[in-house]
Structure 1
Amino acid sequence: METISTSSKGNRIRLLDILRGFAIIGTLGTNIWLFADPGAALSLLSLQEGIGTVDALVNGFLAIFTNGKFLGLLTIMFGIGLELKYQKAMRNGRPWLRMYIWTMILLGLDGLLHFIFVFEYDVLMSYAFTGIIVAFLVGLRHQTLNWIMAGAATIHILGLMLITVAWVWIMNDETILEEIIGLFQETEVVYTTGTYLEQVQFRLSDFIGLRFEAIAIICMNLFLYLLGIRLYRAGAFSQDEKGRAIRKRLMIWGLGLGIPLNALVFVPGNIFDLASRYLFAPVLSLGYIGLLAFLLEKNALKWILARFEMIGKTALSCYVLQNILGSILFYSWGFGLAPVGNVYQVLGAWVLITAIMMIVAQLFVNYFGVGPLEWIWRKCSNAPFKKVG
């Protein structure tokens, strides 16, 4: 039986690295469609068009298991990471708020540069903002955290219901829908014919509009950050019987509820389009935590889990790398393959970029121990506090 808690060095939780790597690869599984067809972002949210065709069914099947699920998983992982840093700061007597807020400022700067120069759907800025909020909350009593989680979930669900009403109306109003499609077609022109500098200018010209999702999911992020903290404190990643029982429940309930809930995206009328990505997805994310823990404990799929682990140890570097590779592969200043409508070609690109990430991550871990961005981030994070504590 494989260990859940520690890596070969004994100072990392191996399952967390595996989950982090799995989430990075899965995030690419969603983003690859945005690279392949920059003007078809609406198709990620709605599967109604073309339903019944083989390509649409394949795309729908993938959407059930990928769209938003890894965004939720990655958010939970960030929450767990925050808790680990908090516990370390408390043990070592370090100035928690100053240290963590500084690291989140660095993460936000990384996200801003990533947004400007690489990819408009960056998630790092949203995580940085959420991390700063949670940094002030992490030391509160469990009961208080439960109330905050309930409040964040309530606000998110109510907001999602209002947006869903507007979404259904838009998707059934041909005039408005045509205008929105026209805007996305302008996006496609920029990424399929524009120069690199024109694409940078495009991202800068509509900064707030392109950050709408990152802003809209703040309450969801807050809930999932705190959920990650509560899972860790409950012993979900310990090697004892209690930890195994929690992980088993996550797998059974997460997969058992998450799969049918996310399959509701096939229901006509666009009612569950947004819920599938922003409400039901995290349920399946929890199922993935339990599933990968089960595979690790059973010593199954050792090679692939080891590859996930390497990517997890270099997660920040691999996240930026996959988007750079996607840009080179599909955008006009690179190989210019976009737009690609064939679902199997898109999946082939996903596999290719994932394989490159696996090789690069292995090389970085073998020779340097971490990825380049992890190294820079660690140095910059610790520099102001070397003499503290």
Structure 2
Amino acid sequence: MEQSKRIRLLDILRGFAIIGTLGTNIWLFAQPGDFISLMSADGWLSNLEAFLAAIQTVLINGKLLGLLTIMFGIGLELKYRKAKRDKLPWLPFYSWTMVLLFLDGLLHYFLVFEYDILMSYAFTGIIVALLLSRYEGSLNFWMKASAVIHIVGVSIVSFLWMLILRDDALLAEIAAGFSEVKDLYTTGTYVEQISYRMRDFIRLRLEAIAIIFMNIALYIAGIRLFRHGAFDDSEKGKRIRKRLLRWGLGLGIPLNMLLLVPGGLFDLPVRYLFAPILSLGYIGLLAFILERGWWKWLLARFETIGKAALSCYVLQNIAASLLFYSWGLGLALMQNVYAIFAAWIGISIGMMAVAHLFVKFMGTGPLEWVWRKLSYMPFK
């Protein structure tokens, strides 16, 4: 139960996931109102830019979000162990921390970015914390049950999605709605954008609600990986990480490459079913790189971002908003793939520098510091 030493690989994975999440979101900032194109890779052989965008979608879109969800599950397990060591009432303590996370996500949603993930994670965290306190011995069952419900749901929605793609009138109506969003973020004021997020709260939160069973399964997968020693500095831990590398990449890459099949048949399954498999492969891959002593400078930068992950997640979305939205530099509707990649890399480098300062002077990020103080305040 004791876990006092910080595990470097976890910070590296968390930082890698944060940068990868920006790799997905940067397209939403650069091309607002074009969510469908983000999930599709049609026309990927038409030119080099389309090919690079497709590769990015295959390797990054949804995969690092899946990894971040697994990391939140591991974070829940670490908090569970610490609560036991400190003799804190587990469910009240963790539920309170999730209320704080939800409020953070709510502010982030209204003031910065409508595709916030923190509210969904807060809701998932409370559910899994409840399972952990009452049904700890059957977590494997709840993980499998949640995964099955999610798979059935995605299969049904994918079938409906294929029908939508064949209905020109419905597609035109969807495109008109996206056009309004595009106009809002390219010409609208900051206040108008906040008003839009408030007015369409339920509709804009549908994806976060729809993936709740996937989140539960991935949270529990993270807990089980940690409990089975996947992050231990031992031979058993190395064997588990090698299996994650072999099976995660060996299955994940071919399955995610199905996105390249024309017609949109695999658009939803790739993002919502196959992406987490590749997420597990990335755990094995970064563990392999760390154990070999490769890319030390880059891994150290991932590590610092991982120690200030919450702050960096919000910061990167603020930076992207300033860069692309009408009340900032107004670079939205950017079509040049190289420029979008450059924006991603530029913001990531900026985050590396800021995270280094956060960790050097505070030991963590400012949001993490406030969150930690408020989390323990009622229980002192």
Q: Same fold (TM over 0.5)?
A: yes
Which one of the candidate residues 93, 114, 125 is aligned to 2:119? 125
Of stretches 53-62 and 365-374 in structure 1, the one that deviates more from structure 2 is 53-62
Which one of the candidate residues 121, 131, 139 is aligned to 1:137? 131
The one-letter code of the counterpart of 1:119 is: F
Matched ranges for 1:1-389 at <5 A: 11-49=5-43, 51-139=45-133, 144-386=138-380
Work out the CA distance in 1 between the residues paired with 2:136 and 2:201.
37
Note the alpha carbon deviations across 1:77-125, whole angstroms, 9 max, x for none. 0000000110111122111111100000000000000000000000000
The one-letter code of the counterpart of 1:231 is: L
The one-letter code of the counterpart of 1:190 is: L
Note the alpha carbon deviations across 1:275-327, whole angstroms, 9 max, x for none. 11100000000000001011111111000000000000000000000000000
Note the alpha carbon deviations across 1:115-168, whole angstroms, 9 max, x for none. 000000000000000000001112456651111111101110010011001111
Work out the CA distance in 2 between the residues paired with 1:206 and 1:92.
42
The one-letter code of the counterpart of 1:69 is: K
C-alpha contact 2:10 2:71 (8 A) present in aligned 1: yes
Partner-residue secondary structure (3-state), 1:284: helix
Work out the CA distance in 1 between the residues paired with 2:179 and 2:44.
19
What is the CA-CA distance between 1:11 and the residue it aligns to?
A: 2.8
The one-letter code of the counterpart of 1:332 is: S
Of stretches 114-123 and 163-172 in structure 1, the one that deviates more from structure 2 is 163-172
Note the alpha carbon deviations across 1:28-75, whole angstroms, 9 max, x for none. 000000000102111111222565332221111111110100110000
Work out the CA distance in 2 between the residues paired with 1:258 and 1:207.
33
The one-letter code of the counterpart of 2:274 is: F
C-alpha contact 1:265 1:272 (8 A) present in aligned 2: yes
- After superposition, the CA RMSD in angstroms is 1.2
C-alpha contact 2:245 2:283 (8 A) present in aligned 1: yes
- Paired residue total: 378
Work out the CA distance in 1 between the residues paired with 2:48 and 2:313.
30
Stretches of structure 1 lacking an aligned partner (at least 5 in a row): 1-5
Of stretches 190-199 and 44-53 in structure 1, the one that deviates more from structure 2 is 44-53
TM-score, structure 2 as length reference: 0.97
Structure 1 pair 192/45, CA: closer, same or farther in 2 (3 Å)?
same
Note the alpha carbon deviations across 1:246-283, whole angstroms, 9 max, x for none. 00000011011100000000112211100111000000
Q: Following superposition, which runs of at least 4 residues in structure 1 exceed 4 angstroms of deviation?
A: 140-143
C-alpha contact 2:16 2:302 (8 A) present in aligned 1: yes
C-alpha contact 1:83 1:138 (8 A) present in aligned 2: no
TM-score, structure 1 as length reference: 0.95
